[in-house]
Amino acid sequence: MLPNLTRKTTQIAIGAAMASLLVLSACDQQGTRLERARELADATLDQISGRAVVEPDADKTLMTASVMDRAIAGTLVNDMAVQMAGEKSMFAIGSIIAKPKDIQPASVDEEALMMMDEEDVFEDIDSEEAFIEEAPAAAPPAAPAPAPSVSAELAQPARLMPKVKLDPDAPEESRQQIAEATQNLKRAAAAEPAPAPRTRSLSPRSLQAAPAPKALAAKKLARRSMITGDAIRKQQDANSVMLDTLSKYGMDGQVALSREGQMVIQIGADGADPTRFTPEQVAMVQQSFLAVDTGAGCPETTDLVTVQSNAALATECIVQDLRASGQFEYVEKDFIFENQFVRRPKPTDPGTTPGGSRPSTGGEPASPPVTITSEITPNDPLWSLQWNFQSNGAGEGKSAGGAGFQDFWTRQANEGSSEVVVAVVDTGLQMAHPDIKNSPNVAPGWDMVSDPRMGNDGDGRDNDPNDPGDMCDPTAPLAADTFHGTHVAGTIGAAASNNGTGVAGGAWNVKIVPVRALGKCGGRLSDINDAIRWAGGLIPGEDAEGNEVWNENPADIINLSIGLFEFCPASLQDAIDSVTDRGVIVVAAAGNARVSTQYYAPGGCQNVISVAAGDARGQIAPYSNFGPNVTVIAPGGDLTRDDNGDGRPDGVLSTKASTNCYDPVTGEGVDNCYYAYEQGTSMAAPHVAAALALLKARQPSATPDELKATLIAALDPREPLQCAGSCALYPGTTPIPGSPDMCARPCGGLLNLANVPTLSTTSGGAN
């Protein structure tokens, strides 16, 4: 039996087809009309089943590929259950993020750095470690004594930022630990190399002129965060305040210090060292340590016994007290982020039904300015189903919602560069995926999930970003592992494009760094903050021996296809600012809650490119967030529509292991496959990340601001109706004149790389 084909829907389709036959039989030209009716009936069944509408010689690449290289998952659905504004966010019980006030960023004399001779910068830099040993030690303000000279002790692998045990029952011992941790930080600061200034880019001319390995070394040194004496001193004072606050409630805890001053405190049993958790606790994630954020805070009348017996309430009260101390720039709960797939069909869905029933509410976008006569076409068998990368327009091989990647590859003679790095902060990557395991585009990544209860891999943070699955509650209807990060990374270019297998990515040649920050039931804000900084090369990870492990490929672009139904948390904004200040571009999904992005993070944060989702018509998808701070609308898909009439949903097709699949040529069911249609702003954001990677490959010396300006200048403007929706579904939006039932939703311009002008050789670029 074909996947998702129910007896009821089959009967409905056949009935509709027979009705068409009877009506048409009474008309003139009976033979011609009856034949057309049969074709329509067959097409109806094909849409329901997901069976191909492919002529035998229409796509030889697809027809000749093996079943496993072309099998896909995803059929048309009639309704999707999306997150709504009434749903509450969650936080990790006992985990608090805080940053002391007035910590000054590390900096050096920018003018002096720019005046340095290139030979001085790159001479004898064969590795980061060599530079660290030769760099002059800078003593922190809190430790005026001269820094120790480079010795065998300093040549050993550096230790990560320490953790401090806070025990109100042993305050003197806790303060001794604070003092020892402070001294360790001072010694580490003395051995740190001075970072490059906090500016948008290191001298582009130097980076362009230098050999690639030396340029990479310079980029790593420019990005890394130095431990400053100011940060050490402020964290020492903050530890004392935290100890006093815990003493008030008779609770113990542990605080992790950081290079940039952002601290994470774990309180009580639920926030204690994750290595102490039992297997049962690890298995019961959502029930054991996540709480719904009710917004009630800590009631004034709450007594001490009640607080001590309710870990979630204790978290609220300690957050409130730390804020009231005046010691901190911010104190906030450790919120739980989710991926931005639109949720699967409701359990009561009767099956699948044909899409395309809703009328179009906007005109066709303008055709690309240049006619392509000989397009570059990848030989990946599923390419013909990837409408999202096709030329923007109407006609064969084009899509009204296409982002013009094929035009860019052809006109710019550029499919990307391995010198450009895109980090994907997500659920990790399926390393065994057949289109990824041998891909030259995947660089070493990191697993930043600190809690084994969420990790689902038996441990905490390590150098293995493989995605073991993220199913939260196996008893929930339609529960399944999402392999979300694999789908996102595949769209950017993790899959080996033009290799005769599966799908193509937006940037054929790009370096993808997978950074796992989401696991079972989502991802902690504290892990995401560290993941962003690690991806940008600002802070190290920690190996099993406690040694620092830096990202050897600091990102030019970071993709965040994640979301939280809250205003942008201060700690997340801090993490984003820390990488964008060092020249990283951050791309964020706008979110799938049908609200303005100002209520959503990271799509509503500052210093990000916020991306809404469009369908195959180039119109905003019904689930997508919107708002004035949305910059771009990019292909996100709509699984309820089939506007191109190919019998398949207008979702975005990319890499991920799936079940309940089918062969797109024969329509026969296949148990397992490696490619799937999905929809969401999660799918839209990686198109923009891939586009920026192509622009960076086209012009390596361009600054982040120049790259963003080029992207924005190439956007196709949207008409009001192309960003509209029913006023009843989107409260607070503005009715469109002449269409009182339709309300405008600002969604940015449509991504269209065909509009990017070619670079002339006289301007220093390459065609």
pLDDT for 58 equals: 44
Percent of the chain with pLDDT over 70: 69
- Over range 30-50, report the average pLDDT: 42
Is the pLDDT at 366 greater than 80, yes or no? no
pLDDT for 202 equals: 32
Quickly list H helices, 582-701.
Answer: 681-698
Give 368-378 pLDDT, tens digit per residue: 344 444 678 99
Give 411-421 pLDDT, tens digit per residue: 999 999 999 99
Integer Cα distance of 89 and 307 in angstroms: 21
- The superfamily CATH assigns to domain 383-763 is Peptidase S8/S53 domain (3.40.50.200)
390 or 137: which leads in pLDDT: 390
pLDDT for 146 equals: 33
- Over range 336-354, report the average pLDDT: 57
Is the pLDDT at 767 greater than 50, yes or no? no
Residue 261 falls in which region: left (phi positive, over 0), alpha (psi -120 to 50) or beta: left
Per-residue pLDDT band for 342 (boundaries 50, 70, 90) equals: confident
Q: Are 482 and 430 in contact (CB under 8 A)?
A: no
* Cβ count near 89 (within 10 Å): 18
- Over range 599-621, report the average pLDDT: 96
Q: What is the pTM of this model?
A: 0.80
Per-residue pLDDT band for 480 (boundaries 50, 70, 90) equals: confident
Is position 470 annotated as part of the catalytic site?
no
Catalytic annotation, pick one of 49, 69, 407, 484? 484
Q: Are 518 and 429 in contact (CB under 8 A)?
A: no
Give 688-734 pLDDT, tens digit per residue: 999 999 999 999 999 999 999 999 999 999 988 899 888 888 877 88
Pairing, β 328-339 against β 562-563: antiparallel
pLDDT for 507 equals: 96
Tokens of 44: 């109806």
Q: Give the DSSP per-residue string, 121-157.
A: HHTT-SSHHHHHHHSPP---TT--SPPPPP-HHHHSP
Per-residue pLDDT band for 227 (boundaries 50, 70, 90) equals: confident
Give 261-298 pLDDT, tens digit per residue: 888 988 875 443 433 334 444 455 445 678 888 888 89
453 or 686: which leads in pLDDT: 686
Q: Which of 6-20, 26-40, 739-753 has the highest mean pLDDT?
A: 739-753
pLDDT for 258 equals: 81
Integer Cα distance of 235 and 265 in angstroms: 12
Per-residue pLDDT band for 79 (boundaries 50, 70, 90) equals: low
Q: Give the DSSP per-residue string, 306-355.
A: HHHH-HHHHHHHHHHHHHHTT-EEEEEEEEEEEE-PPPPPPTT--S----
pLDDT for 182 equals: 67
Listed residue (179, 177, 196, 195) closest to 232, CA to CA: 179
Integer Cα distance of 284 and 274 in angstroms: 14
Per-residue pLDDT band for 248 (boundaries 50, 70, 90) equals: confident
Q: Give the DSSP per-residue string, 195-231.
A: PPPSSS-S-HHHHHHS-HHHHHHHHHHHHPPPPPHHH
Is the pLDDT at 150 greater than 70, yes or no? no
Integer Cα distance of 506 and 406 in angstroms: 9
Is the pLDDT at 204 greater than 80, yes or no? no
Catalytic annotation, pick one of 658, 682, 687, 716? 682
Integer Cα distance of 539 and 283 in angstroms: 30
Q: Are 635 and 614 in contact (CB under 8 A)?
A: yes
pLDDT for 410 equals: 93
Integer Cα distance of 154 and 746 in angstroms: 55
Pairing, β 509-516 against β 416-426: parallel
Listed residue (518, 450, 458, 461) closest to 266, CA to CA: 450
Integer Cα distance of 682 and 705 in angstroms: 23
pLDDT for 201 equals: 32
Tokens of 354: 């044909």
Give 481-518 pLDDT, tens digit per residue: 899 999 999 999 998 888 888 999 999 999 999 999 99
Is the pLDDT at 325 greater than 80, yes or no? yes
Instruction: Compute the mean pLDDT over every residue in the chain, rounded to the nearest whole number.
Output: 76
pLDDT for 551 equals: 95
pLDDT for 349 equals: 38
Length of the chain: 767
pLDDT for 362 equals: 35
pLDDT for 186 equals: 64
Give 465-478 pLDDT, tens digit per residue: 999 988 888 877 77
Per-residue pLDDT band for 224 (boundaries 50, 70, 90) equals: confident
Integer Cα distance of 98 and 327 in angstroms: 10
Catalytic annotation, pick one of 252, 426, 530, 638? 426
Please state, in angstroms and as integers, the Cα–Cα distance from residue 638 to each residue in 170, 339, 356, following that order: 58, 17, 10
Is the pLDDT at 123 greater than 70, yes or no? no
Is position 433 annotated as part of the catalytic site?
no
Quickly list H helices, 26-107.
Answer: 30-49, 60-64, 67-70
Is position 487 annotated as part of the catalytic site?
no
Burial environment of residue 656 by CB neighbours within 10 A (0 to 12, 13 to 18, 19 or more): buried
pLDDT for 699 equals: 95
pLDDT for 689 equals: 98
